[in-house]
Structure formats: structure tokens, C-alpha cells
Structure 1
Amino acid sequence: MEGKQLQVSYIGYIPQTVTLKSTEELTIKMIEDSQNLDEVVVIGYGTQRKGDVTSSVASVKSENFVKGAVKDVGQLIQGKVAGLAITNPSGDPTGNTQIRLRGTSTIGGANTAPLILIDGIPGDFNTVAPEDVESIDVLKDGSAAAIYGTRGTNGVILITTKQARGSEILRVDYSGYISTSHISKKHDMLNASEFAQLYPDYDQGYDTDWVDEITRTPVSHVHNLSLSGGTSRANYIANVNYASRQGIMKRSNFENFRARIEVTQRLFDDKVRLRFGLLGRSDWRESTVSGGSFRGVAYSQATRRNPTEPVRNEDGSWYENLSKFEYENPVALLTEADGDVKNTQLRYNAGITYNPIRDLTLQANYSYNRFVMNRGYSETLNHISARRDGYKGWSSVGSSISVEKLLELTAQYDASIGRNKFTILGGYSYNENNYENIWVDNWGFQDDYFGGWHNIGIGSALKDGKANVGSSKSLTNLIGFFGRATYSYDNKYLLMAALRYEGASQLWGTDNAWGLFPSVSLGWRITQEKFMQDQNIFDDLKLRVGYGVTGSQPRASFLGVAMLRYGSYAYLDGQWIQTIVPASNPNPDLKWEEKKEFNVGIDFMSWNSRINGSIDFYNRRIDGLIYDYSVPTPPNLYNVTTANGGTMENRGVEVLVNVVPVQMRDFEWTTSASFSINSNKLKSLSGSVFKTEYDFFDTGTAEYSGQVTSSHRVQVGESIGNF
């Protein structure tokens, strides 16, 4: 036995290997594994030990991602974070995952989706491949997200990609899969015989399953190749991903190619670290549902179509019933339309980290992101729009370019003095977005061979002044100064406080272009107290309390100043001249929406870390909701003024429990369960500069047979989103 090695392991403790020296009795002292508490959690502009986190932050590592065929990064954490709703609204492979964190926080302000950062750089769930992601951290409450100011008002999702490990051995990883899908449950529709019995006067004598006519059994495949290598001083990682996806609907096809490379170099005894990254993305999707007025979507037409009608007439032409308005052959809609959308993205990022002394870190990061979209769409002369609306080959083409620049400078000092640990962070951020687009539509083509969106100029409508041409440009920037301090005493009492001072170009011309956004959170690790040392229920128990303020700027620029636009034509001196009319009223009091959030939470860990989770209660109050208020003319020059007014409240409870029922050497069973409930109420709609108390307004549209009506009502005392 002497010289043999014995490996000892137990759940919740660090495995040990002991060399046997004799056959005598051996005593081994096991050391508790605090890996769960030492786990690194990404927070704003840095990281923190999980045990030191005082805000509502959820972290999901790659080993806990949703397994299987996922469309984008968002689906990796679907159901993994309490309070985070990630939905796939359709089976369309070209559609984006929709996301909402802790309910709705605005009625007419900026975007309601959380800020998504990939390695600290703004992006979306399609920027990187799901296979290229290492971890995802979600900053849920105001105290965690306030460091990002207005950008973090709807929460922050921090995506960390896989990084090079510094190994000298070249590592190559490949993964791929093939998948298919089907309609899990079809609508219970009348078949041809049932329809004929109920409506014999409309029986055309055919038996057509219209949903089957426009659907298929799709096949999708995804391939991912990753290469990494280098040394501890210089390393690299490269990732290439290709996805080809088919939707259940015919002619719903999507192709995506993404590539990323990152190189890291350490210099001067590791005091300087240089990083350079390049990310490229190109995707293509087929488009057959865009176009001019009264375009029917194929699926909605299939569900309302008479099942006794044929797909084609006896002469091979499409069967259409032109006597019914907006009643279109869904197979013809897919066949007699053609289009695609091409997106190209190129992102450069570079960073330098300098440690002049052990506890001081200076960092500079810069990114340049260029996104180009080109689209085109055409309807043939056999399309119903040619016969019913007289368009004769309606076509449209357009393109847009978006350039985003980001510069961030930070300095952080970390120190430990006895039982005291603290960090101090300060920084500057400049974010600029430049967007331009142009589009044109035309119709009146002689044939389908020489016209269409590839040769849109030969249509007659543009020459006759009936078609449309347009273009636009917008430039916005966001400047922020921020600071944060964290403090820990005896690994027991925890504090984090942050402050961001931010200015937005959308509020240029008002008295409130700059805003101040503070936050503070406290933590108490109860199990570190002496009176908890003899209990054996909790391995760790932490109480968290946080409060933070974030904001939302208006959705567009210059809404607080008086603007002009072109109006109707007037006849002057023998010629028609387009008039210039008011486009907005001035409102120097226009300011940010302010979201003030209070959060109380408990983190717990039991049974040697095999049971862990969190419980959170939050209360959000959004003041100064931005809304377009109707005003009388005169005295106003324009009939709408954009102003702050009204209050909204969100309350909710979130529960997340992770359990490891079985844990053995070669097998582990992990289960997660989450529960969340959100209560949303509009408290007021009164305008800040008006005496009128608004009770409700209608919004959204629903259209059927040419009749257009409002679909939603936003009413004081009710929830947002009521039909």
C-alpha cells in the first residue's frame, strides 16, 4: 500500500490526493469549498466576488446554459433568470428574441429593452454566436444598473465571450448540429366538408388545407469552429460560426456568418496588457411580406381562407376573389413576391490596461462599430396588388448605415487593510451614434424580367410623381462621468455606492440636458455572525438592500425646442411653393424620465452548496413619463407638445432556486426553478406644464377589411398593455 495515492472527495469540499506511507490509520481534514462564493460575477466596469455582491445580479455560466438548438444568445438563459422574460414570438428564423426585465418602464420614451454589452461594448443577441459565449450576467435592479445611467434604466445584460487561456498548445474545438421543427398545435379550423355543410352557398368543390400549402418541414444546421493558443504573455482566440436556418413557413430562410478574433499581449513584466479585437458579421434573410398598402401576411390569410376554394384556376392562374377586400391567396403571396435583407457588421475594439503599482489599474477602451443594411422587395405583375390596386409590379429598395463609437476611460484602486477591503472606481464615457438611411419605391413596370427592385428606376410611377423617395440622418451622443466605491468589513458587512453624471444630445436646447443618477446598496452576510456558527441549515445567508436612480431620455432629438418642417403647397408668383410650418412646440422644461427603484433580497446556500438561490422584492417608481400632450392652437403653434407628466409603478417578487439532487463522480443532475410576478400600474398622466389631468389615451392599431381602429388603451389606474 505504501506509495499508493488515495483521492478523497465529498460534496461541498475541495478534493484531496494523499500519498499513503503505511498501513496505519489515516486522518484527513477536509477543507470547505467556497467556490460558489468566490465565483466571479461581472458588474458594471469590473467584476466582484459573488459573496460580496450587494445588488440584484444574476449570473449564468456556460455549463448552465440552455442546451439544444438556440436561435440567439438570449435563448441561452431563457428561464434561467427570475424576472427576465425572453420570448420567441414566432417560428420565423429571421425574427429576433424579445426581452423584457421587470415589466414596462415607459409609455413613450426610449427603448424598453435592457442594455446589452458584449465584452463591455454595446450590441444585441445576434452580435456574437451562442457557441462563443462564456457567461452572461444580468444587472436587474437600479443599484446595480445606475453605474450605466440612462443606458441601464431597463437593466443591463453583460455577455462575456470565451477568452484565450494562454496555453502554448493550439486548441481546436468544433461543434455543430442539425435540427428541424413543426407546428406544435394547429388552430382548430373547419375542413372542406365541414365548411360545405355550414355554408353550402360558398362551396367551390375543392379540398384545400391552406396552412399545409404554405408550410414545410424545415431543416436547419449550425457549425462553430474555435481556435485558441499562445503563451502566458501573448495569446489569441478566433471563432467562426455559420448558421443556415429554415422556418416552418415556405420561403422563410436565413443565413448568418459570424467571425471574431481577439489578441492579447502582455508587456513590461505584465504591467501593461494590450488587447485588440475584430468582429465581423454578415447575414441574409428572405423577405416576402413587405410592400405597399394592404399587404396580407400569408399565414393570417391561410387561417381565414375558404377550404373549398382551389389554389389555382384550371388555366394555371392564381385563384383570387377580388370581390372581398383584403382577401388574398396565401400561396400566391409567397410565390409572386421576392425580396431579401442583407446586413453587414464590422466592429473594431482595442484596449490597454496599465498597472503602475500593484493595487492601481488604469484602463482605456475604444470601439468602432459599423452596421450596414441593404434591402429590396418586389411584387410581380401576377401579384394581387397589380390586379386589385393597379400597382403593376410594386417594388421598394433601401439602405441604411449606422456607426457607433465608444470611448471609456477608467481608474480603479483596490486595497485591503486588516479586515477592511475597498475599491474606488472613477471613469469617463463618450458614446456617439450616427445613423443615415435612404429608400425609394416605384411601380408601373412593363414586365417581370427587366424591372423589379434590381432595376427600380424604369417603373413609371416615379417619373409620374406618384412614387416615394426619402432619406434621413440622425446624430446623437451621450457623455458620462461616473464613480463607484465598494467596502467590506470582515467579509460580513458590505457596501456599494455609485454616482453617474450624464448628458444626452436628445435634450439639447432644454434646461435639463444633464442628469445625476445615484445608487447605494448594503449587504449583511448573516452566517458570518457568531450566533449563526452552531446552525447547520445554511452554508451562507446574505441580506441585501439597494436603491438606485436611472433615467430615460426622449426617443428622438430636439423634442424640447421649436422645429419647422415642410407642409402643403401654396401658389405664389405663378408657381407652386412648398410651405414651411411648425413641427413642434418649445418646452425648455423637458427632462429625463426618472426610475427610482428599491430592492430587498436574500441569497441563500444550503446542503453543502447543493441548494442555493435568491428571493427579491422590488418597487419601481417612474416619474416624469415622457408623453406627447395635445394642446390648443392658438396659443400654441403646433397641436402637440412633448412633456414630462405622470407616474408609473412596478412591483414584483422574484424567486430562483438551484438544486443538485444527484451529484456523483461521473454524473450530476442540476435543476433550476424560477418564479416571478410583476404588477404594473399607471398612477397618473397629468402634464408637468399643463393643468389638464389626462385619464387615458388609445394607441396601437388593429386593421381588418380596410377598417383601422385603436388596439390598446393606456388608462390611469390600469396596467400598461391592456387591449
Structure 2
Amino acid sequence: MKYRILHQRIVNITFFQVLVIAFFFSANAAGTITESKELKKGLWVHNLIDITITGKVTDEKTKSPIPGVTVKIKNGTTIAVTDENGLYRIAVPNEQTVLTFSYIGYDIQEKIVDNLKNIDIVLKSSQADLDEVVVVGYGTQKKADVTGSVVRANLDDFRNAPTTNVANLLQGTVPGLNVGQVNRAGSTPSINIRGQNTLGGNQNVLIILDGVQYNGSLTSINPDDIASIDVLKDASATAVYGAQAANGVILITSRKGASGRTRISFSTQYATQKPNINLKPMARDEYLDHIKYLYYNEAFLAPDFTQPNPAFNLVSKVDPSMKDNQGNLLPNDFSWYNEATKTGAIVDNQLSVSGGTDKINYLLSGSLTRNSGFINNDVFKRKTLRANIESKATNWLTIGLQSFGTFVNEDGVEPNFNDINLMSPLILPWDNNGSLKINPFNTNLTNPLLSYQAKDYDRHNYFFANIYANIQLPVKGLSYKISFGNNYRLDFKNISNIYDANLTGQASKENTTYYDYTFDNLLTYTKTLGKHNLTGTLLYGAIERENSYTRAYSTGFSRLTLGYDNLQQGTNRFAISNAFKEALNYQMFRFNYSYDSKYLFTGTVRRDGFSGFAENNKYGIFPSLSVGWDISKESFFKVNWVDNLKFRLGYGVAGNQTSRYSSLANVGVNAAYVYGDGSSTELGQQVNSLPNPDLRWERTTGANLGLEFTLFKNRLSGVAEYYDTKTTDLLYSVNIPVLTGFNNYLTNIGQLNNKGIELSLNSKNINGTNFKWTSTLNFARNVNKVVKLLGDLNGDGVEDDLPQSGLFIGEPTAVIYDYKVDGIWQIGEKIPSGYSAGTYRIVDQNGDGLINASYRAVLGSSAPAYRISLLNNFQYKNFTLSIFLNSVQGGNRSYLAGNTPRLIRDDNSIRNNYLSGIDFWSPDNPDGKYPRSFVSATLNPSLYQNRSFVRLQDISLAYKFTGRLIERLKLQNLNLFVSGRNLATWTDWEGWDPETNQGLTNDGRPVFKGYSIGLNVTF
């Protein structure tokens, strides 16, 4: 009884209080809790008014009564608590009263009294996520029965984010899934799962869309059409995809219609996009100062060069292009940066119609998206159409179609951003007649705004269709599924510009056609014998891919009035074409067994064949097995604050394939010979690479240990994982003696290891009637290490490094091997020959006093030490506020990158512009961080900086309308939201952005921050 009384009083307390109390009682601490005098015969009743309501509260699954449930008048103070039989009694003022029923570990339920005197309530456990069905590859499983490392991404809390690519919604949301930033309209970020598993093999994550391998761009997929994304991380989970799964698998499932009332949904969003950092080129005064300091030995007086030299004539040092006819400086302070940029925007509109009956369900959707980037002509436009239809044709046959078409428009050529930042503020882009200057500096550097004159047609059309049929065979539990998935892509790139090809004019047309199909035959047998559940899955499938590319182009136009539609007008005409075909086939058998959902086993064997592999190794076999034990279901497990506790262990082998034709001798067409003086050049062919008939598949063997838990009546849940993978037979091009006629040879070498830990925690900090606060914490750390390479080449018993390739035994593949910098040489110091004041001082690593290549050392790694994110979700009545912080940290020697703006006085540096505010060295700024000198040093090493950051990545505030407004408008849902993305970044990194690895460089690009407002409505 003392536990029940306690539960009724802690509905709204924090998780940390629950933690203390739970541990206190689980240890059987001494003490008693005195029952309230108001609790009589198990019922707590007060404030009796007019109407008495009685009822019973039971569990949805077990149908058993739930004692200790709090029954409360909404927005009131009257409370009752169910007794040991789940019974309650409460007095209410009128029939319009709303009662709330709440209990830790269950979803809160509300009920209007109306004219009822008895109200029975069935509460649904908030641990329903254990019954959630996740996609595991060639089928689905209940989350509670999964034995591999499979995680469902949280999409719901990020759907309002201002972005056009679904991959951006995954940043930081799944431990071990590493998604980068983007800085172009509509672009796809980098995606990586659990570190780098290869040196020369395929490094792409495998994307499965509705059961079909998808090689198209993720920009083609409308985020609003996606129902779920599941991530397969360990070898036991990915082995069902065999040869292409070494880098992990992302399973994308599109939405379907549901039976019942037709739903018409419309959503619209407008978002702004601008740089998340105010980094611009120098304006006039700073630009002229920059030129002066490049001539500090003349502009300032010796010996310390800190006192201005009154005789110094700055104008004489400025490039003639910045002076008028009288030799005076032009008066301009023009911003090329402002001329070439603007505030970007996203306009996104979505419409879908869905519904169904018990015989058929359907979803039809369409979208219009326009993303205008920060730089002019950085434009992404997308139109999508989707039709998903599934019909239960008979009681033994289900047929369906999942299809979409996406039409992407990226017309326009943006100005070269590097050249924009190089342009002097003293120069205007136009001449006195208003025409664009061709060469503003009177050099071969052309005006970057000339790109506006291009006629550009840049289109990408994607078509996807997966047709499937599921047949229930006459044998009970035996089904056969056949699916035929198709991907078709058309790319058109037509462009002409009179200023291209060294100002002679150029026009071209490029067409690319890509097609692949996936044909799968899946036989599944399920059987239940008492508490024994068995499932066998047998797969036979094939994939074929083909690609064709053609480009025709001409140069040397007297005029380009017809642009790329009349290539024959060009003086010089050329044509290029290529094509490829490749094929895969595979077989897979998977066996699942569970006893009482307590003891779990999964075994998989997959055999893959790929046409691109060598003659002697066309096929590879990839097995895996995994086990699980739900210890919380054991009769001996009596820890009352543990709701669920499951151990799982997996071990498996995944493969990685080489690129097509890489095991064969390739023939090139670049060989040329001149027969005699004055003769024309004759083109020929030559063998460019050696064949390797024994080239093998890479093999990644991995073990994964996982612990899933739910504690304190579902107040805290999470997953902790440890993994250890080993990749052998690494595909790598090894350098060979040039006397063989070739530079390298593709073969299998060495070993690469990845170890890591991952943790995901979900807590219900406050779970009240009107106010809820939940948190999700994700943490991931991966340690990558090269274990073997070519072996002991020197015969000294020690595995040899490959420093020329940046590979070292015992170090990560992302190792940084360079000279270590120790400040800048100052005026008056004893400076070695080949260096001067203002150049970097290089650390003598071996003490020999010589500055040469032997000074290089391993300085650290560009890979992060760990990643961590925190999502807080607050709900007050109809308001929902989500705040998401994402961070990548590097420690002392990790997540480093070179960031070295450097000025050396030469013809270009005194003419070009640079980013403003850079802390360059000068005699009067001896603590300057970056080198500036009037001579070039013998060695110019980089300064490596830590890229660690914490980012306020997403924030969203939404209001869901309810009540009479919804009823009057006959709506099912009406939701208004505002959101922001990348609003703040805290970092010591200097430059555009630490996550994109772009520092203080003219050719970098900013990451966007943006604000959006949107509306979701369902009829």
C-alpha cells in the first residue's frame, strides 16, 4: 500500500526525484508512509458537489485493474485515486466537466462526463514503443524482438525545420549516424555511420527506399512523404544486405493511406536563409591598410618597423587598375559581396489526399518547393508527385504500387564566390557605359558577375516505381512476396556563355540517362508453437544498372544568339560519350526464433555476386547471428523500478565492393604521337592499369553489445551500445615502380578497426496533465585505427607506415601528419635561412637543427572525439516547444583542421582582397595569429585549429488548435508553427563554419541560419 500512496503524489515531480525515491525503496530503506485520513476504504474523495461519477481503470493489454491512478477534474483541484481494484469515485459540478486519468508509465487520457454516471477507462501504456514495428530489411519486427542495432530516427520533432532535404532532419538525432551541414540550396549533406570502414572501397551509406536500393539524390525525395527512417548500424543488422552494407544502411519508408475518413492535408512554410556568421571581404580603408602592411619594411621605419615612414607613398603601390587617368586612387568603396548575395528563402507547399477501407488504401501527394540560396543564382526548385496504392484483392492476395516523380530545376550560374571575395572595393564591376567589365584588374581574372550572362538549363528528373504482390500460400503461415522496383533518372545540363573558353564563347549540351531495377522474390514462413515463435525468410534477388552519358560542345563563337541550340556555329566542335552496365544477384536466408519474447535469436546468411569483381572472386558470403535476452521477464528478476531490461549481442560480416571494371585492364584514349616535324598529332590508345584477377571483396567483421532499458514506470528509457569492427582485405591502390609502365596497382591490403560506444537516453521529466517536459540525450564516440598495411617491407619486424598516403599503423585514417608550428618569427630574432619575420616558426622534432621533411610529425586527427546532442520538448496545453542542441567535440588532438590565411607579398596579394578582421602578424602586432611576410618561406606549414562546437540547431514553437474552432471549420487538425535553424554556434574555430571545415578562406561558403513560419491543416 505504501507504494500506491507514493505514486499518487509524484505525478508531476522531476525524473531526478523519481530516481532518488526509486533507489530508496528498492533498497528496502526503513520508514513508513502514513495513509491520509481522507483515504477511506481505498477511495480518496473530497469536494462533493452535485454529480458523483464512478468507474474502473484497467490496463489496455492485461485488462487488469490499475491501482493508484489519479483522477482529476481538468483545471480544477478535485482529485480521486483508484483503489487496489482500480475503482474510483469522484464528484463533479456538471455534465461539461472533463476528467483526466493519469498514472506513471501510461498515457494521460481525458473524458467528458456528459450524461454518464459510470465511466470506465482503459489506459494505454506509454511503453508502447516496445511494441513499435521497425523496418529491419526485407521485413519488419517488433522493437522488443529486435536483436541487432536498429534505431528509428525521430522525425516528428524536426518536421517543421526550414530545410528541403530529409537528411538535414537527421543531424544529431541518432547516435552513430553522422550527418554534416550544407551551404548550397537543396544540397545533400555528407552521411556516415560509425566511422570510416574502408580506404579505397565504396564509402557511401546504403539507402533503401520502400525496399528498393536507391542511388538517386536524397534531394529527389519529398520529406513530407516519408513515414519513417530506420538506421541499421551493426554487422548483424546490415548483413541482410551483404556486399553493400559495410557502411551501414538507412531504410526509408514512405507514407500510406489509412482506413477510415478521407484526409486532405495541406501545409505551407516560408523560411529565410542567411549566413550564420558575418564574414565579409575588406572594405576600402582596411583594404588599403592591408596593402600598406605588405610593404611594412617601407611604410614603417627601421629597426622595429612600428613608426610610420612619412616618405612612404601608398598610392604608388596600388595596382594601376584602381587609379584614374591622373594616377589618383578611385573614390569607390564598392561591396562586390553585397552585389552577389541576398537573403535566401524557402517556400514549401505540400498537399496530400489519403484514406482507405479494409480492402484498399491510397495516398496521393504533391509538393512545390523553391529554395533561393544566399548567393545569387543558387536556386533549387522541386516539384514532386507521389501515388501509393495498396489493395487486398482477395483474402490471399495483396497488391500495391509505390511511385513518385520528382522534377528538379537548378537553372542559373552563380558568380564564383572566391572571385567575389578577391575583388577590390576600389573597382566597380561596370564601365562608364553600364556594361560589365571583362577584366576588372586588367589581368586574366574575369569579372565574376559575367556568369549572369550565361544561358543555363540544369534539370534533373527522377522516376521511381515499386510494384509488389504479397501472396498467402495454401500452407498456413507461408507467404510469397514479389517486388519489382525501378529507378529512372534524366539529367540535362545545357549552357552557353559568350565569355567562356577564354572569352571566345562556349556552348554545350549534356544528357545523362540512368536506369536500374531491383527484382526480389521473398518467401516467409511464420509458426507459433505455444511460447515458441519461428520465422524463416528466404530471398532471391537481382539488380541491374545502366548509365549513358553524352556531351557535345563547341567553342569559338562570333555570336551566341541561339545559345546551346546551335552548336554548329562554333568554330571548334567536340563530342564525348560513355556508358556502363553492371549487375548484382544475391540470395539470403534469415531465421528468427523467440521463446516467450524472452529469449531471442536471429541468424542470417547472404551470398552476393557482382559483375565488377575479379574473375576469381565474383561472389562473397556474409553471415551473421545475434541473440537477445529480456531479463526483466524472468521470474527471478524482482527489481521493481526496472520496467524492461534487454541484453543483445550480435556478430556478423558485411562486405564492400569495388567500382566497376577496376579489376580489369583499362584502356585510355589520351595517347598521342607526332609523326615527323610539322605533322599533325595522331591520337591512339594505351593500357592505363594492370588487371588483378584475384581482387577480393572487402570484409567488415563486427561485434555489437547492446543494453536496452526502461526504468521508473517508463520515466527513463534508453539504449547503450558497444561495438568493435574489423575491416580486412582493404581495397587500395598501391604505388608500384614506374619502370613497370604503371603508377599503382589495385589490390587487397591491411586491416582497419573501428571501436565505439553509443548512448541514447529518453526521460519524462514532468508528465503532468497540462504540462509535460521530455528530454532526449544522444552520445557517440568512435575510435578509428589502422592496424595493418603492406606488412614488414624493411625486414625489421615492424609493420611499415605509408606516410606519402597519410597512413600510419596505430593511427586513424584521418591522421594529420605535418609540421608543428610554434608561433611566428619576430623582428630582431635569429631567423634561419629561408625564413623571415612574419613566417611560422617550425618545431624541431628531432633536435638536429635542420628544417626539412623529418620535422613532420603526427599532430592529431581530423575525426571528432565524440558527438553529443540534447533535445528538450515542452508541452503546455496546446503549445509545444522543442529545443535541440547539437555538438561535435574534439578534445586536445581530435577534430582538427588546417586554417591558415597567409599573406606573402607578390603581384597577386597586393591586388586581391581578403576576408575582413583576420589577425595577421605585423611589427606592431607581434602577437598576430596568422603569417604575413614580404618573402615566401622555404616551408609554409598550416596552423591546425580545433573545430569543436555547440550549435543551437533547431527550435520550434507550435500551437495546435482544438475545440469549437476545429468543429466549426470541420477540420481534423490545424497547427501553426514558427521555427529556427542554426540560430547560434559557439566555437573557437575562426572562419565560415567548423562543421564544413571551412576556415578563413576566400573560397569558403557560409552555413545558413533561418527562421520560418508555417501552417498544417487537415480536412
**TM-score higher than 0.5:** yes
Classify 1:189/1:484 alpha carbon distance in 2 versus 1 (closer, same or farther; 3 Å). same
Does the CA-based 8 Å contact 1:662-1:670 persist in structure 2?
yes
Classify 1:312/1:23 alpha carbon distance in 2 versus 1 (closer, same or farther; 3 Å). closer
How far apart, in 1, do the equivalents of 2:286 and 2:158 lie? 47
Aligned identity (percent) is 26
Classify 1:77/1:567 alpha carbon distance in 2 versus 1 (closer, same or farther; 3 Å). closer
Q: How does 1:186-585 map to 2 (within 5 A)?
A: 186-187=278-279, 189-199=281-291, 200-201=314-315, 202=318, 204-269=330-395, 271-288=396-413, 298-319=416-437, 327-330=445-448, 332-356=449-473, 357-380=475-498, 383=499, 385=500, 389=502, 391-450=503-562, 452-462=563-573, 468-507=574-613, 509-536=614-641, 538-557=642-661, 559-570=662-673, 578-585=683-690
- 2:264 partner amino acid: V
1:260-291 deviation per Cα after TM superposition (whole angstroms, max 9, x unaligned): 1122111332x2101123311111102415xx
Does the CA-based 8 Å contact 1:544-1:600 persist in structure 2?
yes
- 2:665 partner amino acid: A
Please report how far the alpha carbon of residue 440 of structure 1 lies from its aligned counterpart in structure 2 after TM superposition: 2.5
1:105 aligns with 2:208: no
Does the CA-based 8 Å contact 2:724-2:754 persist in structure 1?
yes
Classify 1:189/1:607 alpha carbon distance in 2 versus 1 (closer, same or farther; 3 Å). farther
1:364-394 deviation per Cα after TM superposition (whole angstroms, max 9, x unaligned): 11012211100022222xx3x56xx3x4112
Question: Which structure would you say has the larger Rg?
Answer: 2
Classify 1:322/1:647 alpha carbon distance in 2 versus 1 (closer, same or farther; 3 Å). farther
Classify 1:533/1:364 alpha carbon distance in 2 versus 1 (closer, same or farther; 3 Å). same
How far apart, in 1, do the equivalents of 2:355 and 2:121 lie? 39
1:620 aligns with 2:725: yes
Classify 1:516/1:719 alpha carbon distance in 2 versus 1 (closer, same or farther; 3 Å). farther
1:68-115 deviation per Cα after TM superposition (whole angstroms, max 9, x unaligned): 22221112222210111112331x2142222111122222212x2211
Task: Give the stretch that moved more between structures: 683-692 or 316-325.
Answer: 683-692
How far apart, in 2, do the equivalents of 1:408 and 1:689 lie? 47
Classify 1:93/1:26 alpha carbon distance in 2 versus 1 (closer, same or farther; 3 Å). closer
1:8 aligns with 2:88: no
How far apart, in 1, do the equivalents of 2:205 and 2:379 lie? 28
1:387-406 deviation per Cα after TM superposition (whole angstroms, max 9, x unaligned): xx3x4112332110000111
Which stretches in structure 2 are left out of the alignment for 5+ residues? 1-50, 56-98, 292-313, 319-328, 807-813, 815-855, 864-896, 899-1019
1:341-382 deviation per Cα after TM superposition (whole angstroms, max 9, x unaligned): 1111222221110112442221111012211100022222xx
Aligned partner of residue 131 in structure 1, secondary structure: helix
Does the CA-based 8 Å contact 2:490-2:513 persist in structure 1?
yes
Does the CA-based 8 Å contact 1:680-1:720 persist in structure 2?
no
Classify 1:190/1:268 alpha carbon distance in 2 versus 1 (closer, same or farther; 3 Å). closer
Match of 2:206 in 1: 115
- 1:556 partner amino acid: R
Classify 1:30/1:205 alpha carbon distance in 2 versus 1 (closer, same or farther; 3 Å). closer
Classify 1:672/1:571 alpha carbon distance in 2 versus 1 (closer, same or farther; 3 Å). same
Match of 1:129 in 2: 222
How far apart, in 2, do the equivalents of 1:138 and 1:584 lie? 38
Classify 1:16/1:421 alpha carbon distance in 2 versus 1 (closer, same or farther; 3 Å). farther
Q: 2:131 aligned to 38, 44, 62, which one?
A: 38
Please report how far the alpha carbon of residue 694 of structure 1 lies from its aligned counterpart in structure 2 after TM superposition: 5.9
- 1:282 partner amino acid: F
1:14-46 deviation per Cα after TM superposition (whole angstroms, max 9, x unaligned): 6689999x9999999977554121111110111
How far apart, in 1, do the equivalents of 2:624 and 2:793 lie? 29
How far apart, in 1, do the equivalents of 2:460 and 2:681 lie? 41
How far apart, in 1, do the equivalents of 2:246 and 2:779 lie? 23
1:589 aligns with 2:589: no
How far apart, in 2, do the equivalents of 1:60 and 1:575 lie? 62
Aligned partner of residue 612 in structure 2, secondary structure: helix
How far apart, in 2, do the equivalents of 1:650 and 1:204 lie? 59
Does the CA-based 8 Å contact 1:346-1:371 persist in structure 2?
yes
Task: Give the stretch that moved more between structures: 346-355 or 639-648.
Answer: 639-648
Classify 1:192/1:277 alpha carbon distance in 2 versus 1 (closer, same or farther; 3 Å). same
How far apart, in 2, do the equivalents of 1:141 and 1:456 lie? 53
1:564-611 deviation per Cα after TM superposition (whole angstroms, max 9, x unaligned): 343534578999764332232121210111111221221122232232
Q: How does 1:71-110 map to 2 (within 5 A)?
A: 71-90=164-183, 92-110=184-202
How far apart, in 2, do the equivalents of 1:484 and 1:684 lie? 33
Match of 2:774 in 1: 670
Does the CA-based 8 Å contact 2:728-2:749 persist in structure 1?
yes
How far apart, in 1, do the equivalents of 2:712 and 2:555 lie? 71
Which stretches in structure 1 are left out of the alignment for 5+ residues? 290-296, 463-467, 701-713
- 1:63 partner amino acid: D
Does the CA-based 8 Å contact 2:462-2:489 persist in structure 1?
yes
Does the CA-based 8 Å contact 2:246-2:700 persist in structure 1?
yes
How far apart, in 1, do the equivalents of 2:794 and 2:672 lie? 33
Match of 1:608 in 2: 713
How far apart, in 2, do the equivalents of 1:189 and 1:533 lie? 67
Does the CA-based 8 Å contact 1:62-1:135 persist in structure 2?
yes
- 1:69 partner amino acid: P
Aligned partner of residue 270 in structure 2, secondary structure: strand
TM, length-normalised to structure 1: 0.87
Match of 1:711 in 2: none
Aligned partner of residue 430 in structure 2, secondary structure: coil
Match of 2:918 in 1: none
Classify 1:108/1:28 alpha carbon distance in 2 versus 1 (closer, same or farther; 3 Å). closer
Aligned partner of residue 212 in structure 1, secondary structure: helix
How far apart, in 1, do the equivalents of 2:279 and 2:589 lie? 55
Classify 1:286/1:588 alpha carbon distance in 2 versus 1 (closer, same or farther; 3 Å). same
Please report how far the alpha carbon of residue 322 of structure 1 lies from its aligned counterpart in structure 2 after TM superposition: 6.8
- 2:170 partner amino acid: I
Match of 1:708 in 2: none
Does the CA-based 8 Å contact 2:710-2:717 persist in structure 1?
yes
Please report how far the alpha carbon of residue 437 of structure 1 lies from its aligned counterpart in structure 2 after TM superposition: 0.4
Does the CA-based 8 Å contact 1:407-1:430 persist in structure 2?
yes
Please report how far the alpha carbon of residue 66 of structure 1 lies from its aligned counterpart in structure 2 after TM superposition: 4.4
1:148 aligns with 2:241: yes
How many residue pairs get matched?
681
- 2:426 partner amino acid: T
- 2:387 partner amino acid: I
Please report how far the alpha carbon of residue 178 of structure 1 lies from its aligned counterpart in structure 2 after TM superposition: 0.9
How far apart, in 1, do the equivalents of 2:390 and 2:628 lie? 36
Please report how far the alpha carbon of residue 529 of structure 1 lies from its aligned counterpart in structure 2 after TM superposition: 2.6
